[in-house]
Amino acid sequence: MDTYITQEVTKERALLVGISSLPQLTRSVAEEYLNELELLADTAGAEVVSRVIQERKQKDPAWFLGRGKVEEMEHLIKGGLIDIVIFDDDLSPVQARNLERVFGCKVLDRTELILQIFATRAQSAQAKMQVELAQLEYLLPRLTRLWTHLSKQKGGIGTKGPGETQIETDRRLVRKRISFLKKKLRDVALQHATQTKERGEIPRVALVGYTNAGKSTLMNRLCPNTGAYAEDRLFATLDTKTRRLQLKINKVVLLSDTVGFIRKLPHRLVESFRSTLDEVLQADFLLHVIDSSHEGFEEQIRIVTETLQEIGVEHTNIINVFNKVDAVEDKEALRSLRQKYPEALFVSAKRGINLGVLKDAIGDYISRDYRLRTLRTHISNYKLIGYLYDHTEVIGKKYVDEDVILKYRAHYRNLKQIDARIAAVEKESSHVA
């Protein structure tokens, strides 16, 4: 009985808030989004006790919701039932500050919640730095809001008043830390690039997909002894794990498990996880793992595709793997799915269904003479870009911020040499920078 009570007390009670806006964002879609937000809240350790969905065409610049709704919620919160309010959409710094003041409790938006989950789940030094960077960049424009809390607590003790000067100092410190982390992460990425290049000719395959699709389970099945962490939670995996996968005698690939994607994955987070996701860019091809038992799987496919585009990966070298077929009850739906995606594979990682077929498909892919690769580099890295144009067949080019992403084709026999040259040029240019 006692333990029961303790648990009740320690879990924060959360109220979830979403908006529906016709015609596209129907109430049932908004409900589905809140289901996912509830999973996120649960992963973060909160207990969802209530939900609010308001129909609204426009977001109020000061309150996000309508003033009447805010007052209604205020009563609910002040009734003592709610410790934290979580919005499915991003709040502006002003909206968050206003709502916190009225509600008198913590107010988070989806981005903050995801950042918090990442922060508690990060294991490696690299993942920790990546999350901290994303958090600080999120925090920077919101420092005033944080400061309101601090000044209340401190009650004006000390010589420096809680005015603009203190905020300026904080901003400077945060900026300094941001550039420190960026530099550190660049160093790690470089080291990592050199290491992966040394793996030479072995083809690389990366598992990508929506969070909870079953990537780690598949990895564990294909490469026993991996010990990849699989769980019915969102973002179980944050660090890339790479293992050798023996297909047949003389046929080996390196298989990597990666962080899952989600709807509205904060852009900053994608950016700062770039070095982890490098594994995805470096891969010869990708296995896109899809949870075919999830009702929103089509949207999940779209979101993964968009996120991949954001980090610079194109479609052509992707094999769709529909997982969890054991959990699909509607066999007719499964049949039409096979028709719609004739190239895709249908497996169950958990029950070990069709994994032989999957391995054969990987084998077929790597037997092709040419490999598709992607490389991301700074636009000023002329030497590297020129090298790729001279020695490989560049078939795609895209600009993202100050980087260029080149997609190229090369004979597999030349890959070792190309990789070594890329590593050497990258090393040279980083010394200059």
Ligand X SMILES: Nc1nc2c(ncn2[C@@H]2O[C@H](COP(=O)(O)OP(=O)(O)OP(=O)(O)O)[C@@H](O)[C@H]2O)c(=O)[nH]1
Q: Which is nearer to ligand X, 139 or 337 (CB)?
A: 337
Mark 92-115 as b/e (b = at least 16 C-beta within 10 Å): eeebbbbbbebbebebbbbbbbbb
- Residue 222 in contact with Mg ion, rule: CB under 5 A: no
Mark 214-244 as b/e (b = at least 16 C-beta within 10 Å): bbbbbbbbbbeebebbbeeebbbbbbbbbbe
- Residue 113 in contact with Mg ion, rule: CB under 5 A: no
Q: How far is the CB of 323 from ligand X (least distance, A)?
A: 5
Applying CB under 5 A, the span of 66-74, 158-166, 233-241, 421-429 interacting with Mg ion comes to 233-241
Q: How far is the CB of 217 from Mg ion (least distance, A)?
A: 8
- Residue 216 in contact with Mg ion, rule: CB under 5 A: yes
Applying CB under 5 A, the span of 79-87, 96-104, 127-135, 236-244 interacting with Mg ion comes to 236-244
Q: How far is the CB of 245 from Mg ion (least distance, A)?
A: 16
Rg of the chain over Cα atoms, rounded to whole angstroms, equals: 24
- Residue 237 in contact with Mg ion, rule: CB under 5 A: yes
Residue of closest CB approach to ligand X: 260
**Which of Mg ion, ligand X, none interacts with 326 (beta carbon under 5 to 8 A by kind)?**
ligand X
Residue 4, marked binder: no
Residue 375 and residue 281 in contact, taking contact as beta carbons nearer than 8 Å: yes
| Residue of 185, 236, 304, 422 interacting with Mg ion (CB under 5 A) | 236
Residue 54's identity, in one-letter code, is: Q
Q: Rounded distance, CA 186 to CA 189, Å?
A: 5
Residue 319 and residue 287 in contact, taking contact as beta carbons nearer than 8 Å: yes
Q: How far is the CB of 68 from ligand X (least distance, A)?
A: 38
- Residue 212 in contact with Mg ion, rule: CB under 5 A: no
Q: Rounded distance, CA 34 to CA 52, Å?
A: 9
**Which of Mg ion, ligand X, none interacts with 213 (beta carbon under 5 to 8 A by kind)?**
ligand X
DSSP H or E run through 220: helix 215-222
Q: Which is nearer to ligand X, 57 or 331 (CB)?
A: 331
Residue 140's identity, in one-letter code, is: L
Rounded to the nearest angstrom, the gap between the alpha carbon of residue 423 and the centroid of all alpha carbons in its chain is: 27
What is the CA angle 297-220-115, rounded to 5? 55
What is the contact surface with ligand X in residues (CB under 6 A)? 209, 211-217, 230-232, 234-237, 260, 323-324, 326-327, 348-350
Site residues (vs Mg ion, CB under 5 A): 215-216, 236-237
- Annotated binding-site members for Mg(2+): 216, 237
Binding residues for GTP: 209-216, 235-239, 257-260, 323-326, 348-350
